[in-house]
């Protein structure tokens, strides 16, 4: 390999790429002394490499082997073709178009980033070589370690053989070796010829006496891991790297820091089509995440507790004895990590920590920029989840990571199915009120129970799993011989009213917890049994919440949002526009009476009703007209962003929505968010 990349002086300090079979070799050579051309290549009689420092380092090369990218879209640009590629059968115009407007290799971005990192690394190594002979002394030490593990085949053969069992040990010894000690070079009369050689010898002697603090083998290993930090094999991210953002920084000789570019982009942040909280800056090159006060932060890689623990152990305040106040931004980050919750917005976190909203937003932005968290809407009981476009592909790729995070007995497909399934609202309502329901029911209640199946909310999922956990506890605690017990028969009857996916999900969670009540637990007091049942239900809910947050942070599921769309305009319209708006309004009114029985258009509310208060509806019509003039009723602004933009309360937003629906002024569309929603921060 060294002979292959022993380049000519004109090619030194230039990026070189060589493709051998299916391996891409990226190399960068540095010529230290162009006047010195004699490099010692004499070997010992045993075949060992010469390691004397007097040889003088003239040229060194850093080589990185890369596997080509086989999948992905081609990038338009200049084509890298073979220089001797045949052009038979290609017209002159076609050939010109092929070379000028063709496509580059899919591995071109990776190769470019590696060459950029190699240029930085070689520049620092050359600088340290001129300062303290860093490369010469380090290579001499590594070659001495390597010569110990070389076993000659025979006394007459010059070929060397490395024991495969000691090869890994040799690499570990190189990485763990201490830096070489400074050496006092003795004067040699053969080398001391003239004042020029004496001056050169004195310089080399001074450079060799500078103490070294680094290890070249360890630094090259760190360079490799820094380049491959975004690969699939390096999916585990440490809290320290996320907080400090220094997973791509290595130190040469504990003296100079180098920023190493990743060989591949971080797909979870930059290439994720469902990561909507970002916009392109004016330069078009930088991606800036957007964060709103109604957002919360989710941690896909490392939990907030791990980040908080790492922050406290490595913070400046724990190392100071006199002044333990620490850095202001560090303390704000610790407060944010202490109170962050998927059920709290940034505004709620600011109130809880008694910090300004701008400070909380700044701390959250720093976490987002480092890739530690993502922005997402707050998870509420009314939240409805749906699968993303490529949910099946994502689940297939992340099922192993999901099993490692939770348990192999809980399939990821079952959890996603339970969170995105449909149900009939009358089912669970009748189940919960079976013992208390009266024989007489009003027409409005019957209309509510006869509604068509709808998507389950997150509150329904928690309620279903809680109900299934209670039934599982009671069934397990019941005696086998009490088949005729009416209570057990009621349990079996109620079991049929709950969707089966929740029974499967609850049973798998209970099997992982391994805390189902046994006969010994039943013998105890009733209060102890109730405490155990309550603890078990809380454990099931906590596991379910953790799985939901994990799926949402990895963009497998996404929230459904409500969007307002205007039907008719309050502005001046032509007769044709008024006629079309009237037809649409009449058609929508007819459909709404059939499909939305809960919309009481003709219902008379009492004067004591808060929704009928003049303070609530005083300027609703003017507010709706203003929103139409500003273009907020275009169907691309969610109700949450609508409320934040107007600065109104949730009750006032509900009054505005009810007024628009009652007067047939707006539609409410429920759908999956897209990138352009909410001014680029959906």
Higher pLDDT, 69 or 616: 69
Cα 670 to Cα 596: distance, rounded to the nearest angstrom: 14
Distance from the Cα of residue 84 to its chain's centroid? 44
Cα 453 to Cα 2: distance, rounded to the nearest angstrom: 70
Torsion sign (Cα): 147, 150, 152, 157:
negative
Q: Are 505 and 465 in contact (CB under 8 A)?
A: yes
Provide the β-strand partners of residue 562. Answer: 670
Across the range 26-34, mean pLDDT stands at: 82
User: What per-residue string of b and e applies to 410-439 under the rule 16 or more CB within 10 Å gives b?
Assistant: bbbeebbbbbbbebbbbbbeebeeeeeeee
Q: Which of 505, 378, 385 is nearest to 455 (CA)?
A: 385
Q: What is the pLDDT of residue 422?
A: 84
- Give the SS3 label for residue 103: strand
Q: Give the CATH number of domain 278-377.
A: 1.10.10
Token pair for 575: 């007769």
| Domain range annotation of the chain | 9-38+46-71+106-259, 278-377, 385-433+447-559, 561-680
Higher pLDDT, 175 or 269: 175
| SS3 readout for 114-178 | HHHHHHHHHHHHHHHHHHHCHHHHHHHHHHHHHHHCEEECCCCCCCEEECHHHHHHHHHHHHHCC
Q: Are 668 and 595 in contact (CB under 8 A)?
A: no
Q: Which of 242, 351, 359 is nearest to 291 (CA)?
A: 359
201, burial (CB in 10 Å: exposed 0-12, middle 13-18, buried 19+): middle
pLDDT digits (tens, 9 = 90+) for 485-496: 545 444 444 444
Q: Which of 552, 528, 532 is nearest to 540 (CA)?
A: 532
- Give the SS3 label for residue 355: coil
Can you say whether residue 76 is alpha, beta or left, with left for phi > 0 and alpha for psi between -120 and 50 degrees? Answer: beta
Entry field: residues in the chain:
682
Cα 474 to Cα 529: distance, rounded to the nearest angstrom: 11
Across the range 336-360, mean pLDDT stands at: 93
Question: H/E element holding 17?
Answer: strand 16-20
Q: What is the pLDDT of residue 90?
A: 42
User: What per-residue string of b and e applies to 295-330 under the rule 16 or more CB within 10 Å gives b?
Assistant: bbbbbbbbebebbbebbeeebeeeeeeeeeebeeeb
Q: What is the pLDDT of residue 1?
A: 67
Q: What is the pLDDT of residue 104?
A: 55
Distance from the Cα of residue 301 to its chain's centroid? 6
Q: What is the pLDDT of residue 45?
A: 44
Contacts of 244 (CB under 8 A, 6+ apart): 370
pLDDT digits (tens, 9 = 90+) for 596-622: 333 333 344 444 444 444 445 557 888
Contacts of 530 (CB under 8 A, 6+ apart): none
Q: Is the pLDDT of residue 350 over 90?
A: yes
Across the range 556-565, mean pLDDT stands at: 92
Higher pLDDT, 35 or 214: 214
Higher pLDDT, 289 or 646: 646
Q: What is the pLDDT of residue 23?
A: 86
Token pair for 179: 């830096």
pLDDT category, 100, cuts 50, 70, 90?
A: very low
Q: Is the pLDDT of residue 279 over 50?
A: no
Cα 142 to Cα 355: distance, rounded to the nearest angstrom: 54
Distance from the Cα of residue 371 to its chain's centroid? 6
Task: Please give the DSSP secondary-structure letter assigned to residue 49.
Answer: B
Cα 572 to Cα 650: distance, rounded to the nearest angstrom: 30
Q: Is the pLDDT of residue 450 over 70?
A: no
Q: Are 9 and 34 in contact (CB under 8 A)?
A: yes
444 φ/ψ angles, rounded to the nearest 5 degrees? -70, -40
Instruction: Express as a percent the part of the chain with pLDDT over 70.
Output: 60
Higher pLDDT, 459 or 285: 459
Q: Are 378 and 559 in contact (CB under 8 A)?
A: no
pLDDT digits (tens, 9 = 90+) for 507-537: 888 887 764 444 444 444 555 567 777 888 8
Average pLDDT of the chain is 71
Across the range 345-366, mean pLDDT stands at: 92
**Of 250-264, 305-319, 536-550, 614-628, which gets the smallest average pLDDT?**
305-319
Across the range 397-420, mean pLDDT stands at: 89
Q: Is the pLDDT of residue 281 over 50?
A: no
Q: Are 438 and 508 in contact (CB under 8 A)?
A: no
Contacts of 91 (CB under 8 A, 6+ apart): none
- Give the SS3 label for residue 517: coil
Computed on alpha carbons and rounded to an integer, the radius of gyration of the chain in Å comes to 35
Higher pLDDT, 373 or 242: 373
Q: What is the pLDDT of residue 119?
A: 93
Q: What is the pLDDT of residue 366?
A: 86
pLDDT digits (tens, 9 = 90+) for 222-277: 888 888 877 655 555 666 666 665 667 888 988 888 888 888 776 544 344 334 44
Higher pLDDT, 464 or 495: 464
Residue-by-residue DSSP string for 205-238: HHHHTSPP---HHHHHHHHHHHHTTTSGGG----
Work out the angle at residue 332's Cα, subtended by the Cα atoms of residues 329 and 333, and round it to the nearest 5 degrees. Answer: 85
**Of 359-368, 444-453, 629-638, which gets the smallest average pLDDT?**
444-453
């Amino acid at each position: 390999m060294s002979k292959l990349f022993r380049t000519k002086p004109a090619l030194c300090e230039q990026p070189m790429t060589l493709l051998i079979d299916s391996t891409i070799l990226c190399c960068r050579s540095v010529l230290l002394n162009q006047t010195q051309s004699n490099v010692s290549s004499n070997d010992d009689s045993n075949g060992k490499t010469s390691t004397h420092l007097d040889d003088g380092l003239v040229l060194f090369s850093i080589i990185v082997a890369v596997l080509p990218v086989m999948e992905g879209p081609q990038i338009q640009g200049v084509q890298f073709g073979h220089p001797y590629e045949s052009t038979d059968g290609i017209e002159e115009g076609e050939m010109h178009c092929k070379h000028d407007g063709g496509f580059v290799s899919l591995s071109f971005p990776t190769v470019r980033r590696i060459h950029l990192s190699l240029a930085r690394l070689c520049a620092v190594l050359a600088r340290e070589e001129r300062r303290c002979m860093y490369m010469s002394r380090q290579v001499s030490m590594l070659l001495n370690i390597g010569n110990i593990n070389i076993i000659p085949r025979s006394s007459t053969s010059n070929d060397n053989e490395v024991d495969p069992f000691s090869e890994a040990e040799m690499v570990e010894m190189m990485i763990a070796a201490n830096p070489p000690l400074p050496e006092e070079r003795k004067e040699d009369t053969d080398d001391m010829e003239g004042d020029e050689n004496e001056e050169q010898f004195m310089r080399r002697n001074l450079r060799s006496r500078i103490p070294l603090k680094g290890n070249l083998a360890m630094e090259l290993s760190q360079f490799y891991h820094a380049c491959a930090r975004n690969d699939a094999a390096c999916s585990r991210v440490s809290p320290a790297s996320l907080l400090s953002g220094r997973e791509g920084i290595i130190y040469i000789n504990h003296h100079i820091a180098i920023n190493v570019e990743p060989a591949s982009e971080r797909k979870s942040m930059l290439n994720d089509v469902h990561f909507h909280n970002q916009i392109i800056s004016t330069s078009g090159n930088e991606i800036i995440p957007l964060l709103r006060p109604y957002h919360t932060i989710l941690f896909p890689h490392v939990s907030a507790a791990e980040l908080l623990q790492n922050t406290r152990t490595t913070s400046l305040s724990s190392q100071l004895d006199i002044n333990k106040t620490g850095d202001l931004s560090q303390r704000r980050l610790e407060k944010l990590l202490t109170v962050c919750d998927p059920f709290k917005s940034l505004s709620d976190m600011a109130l809880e920590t008694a910090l300004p909203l701008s400070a909380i937003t700044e701390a959250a932005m720093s976490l987002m920029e480092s890739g530690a968290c993502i922005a997402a809407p707050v998870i509420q009981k009314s939240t409805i989840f749906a699968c993303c476009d490529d949910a099946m592909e994502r689940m297939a790729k992340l099922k192993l990571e999901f099993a490692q995070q939770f348990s192999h007995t809980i399939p990821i497909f079952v959890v996603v199915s339970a969170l995105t399934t449909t149900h009939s609202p009358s089912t669970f309502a009748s189940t919960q009120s079976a013992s208390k329901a009266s024989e007489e029911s009003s027409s409005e209640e019957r209309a509510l129970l006869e509604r068509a199946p709808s998507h389950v909310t997150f509150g329904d999922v928690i309620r279903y799993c809680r109900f299934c956990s209670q039934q599982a506890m009671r069934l397990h605690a019941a005696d086998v011989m009490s088949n005729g017990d009416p209570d057990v028969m009621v349990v079996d009857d109620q079991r049929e009213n709950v969707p089966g996916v929740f029974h499967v999900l609850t049973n798998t969670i209970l099997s992982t917890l391994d805390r189902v009540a046994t006969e010994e637990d039943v013998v105890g007091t009733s209060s102890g049994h109730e405490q155990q049942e309550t603890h078990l239900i809380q454990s099931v809910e906590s596991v379910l919440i953790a799985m939901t947050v994990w799926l949402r942070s990895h963009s497998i599921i996404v929230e459904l949002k409500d969007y307002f769309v205007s039907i008719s305009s309050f502005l001046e319209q032509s007769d044709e526009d008024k006629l079309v708006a009237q037809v649409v309004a009449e058609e929508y009114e007819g459909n709404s009476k059939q499909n939305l029985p809960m919309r009481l258009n003709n219902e008379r509310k009492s004067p004591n009703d808060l929704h009928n208060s003049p303070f609530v509806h005083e300027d609703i019509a003017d507010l709706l007209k203003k929103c139409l003039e500003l273009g907020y009723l275009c169907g691309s602004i969610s109700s949450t962003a609508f409320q934040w933009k107007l600065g109104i309360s949730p009750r006032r937003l509900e009054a505005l929505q009810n007024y628009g629906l009652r007067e047939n002024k707006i539609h409410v569309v429920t759908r999956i968010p897209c990138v352009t929603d909410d001014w680029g921060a959906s």
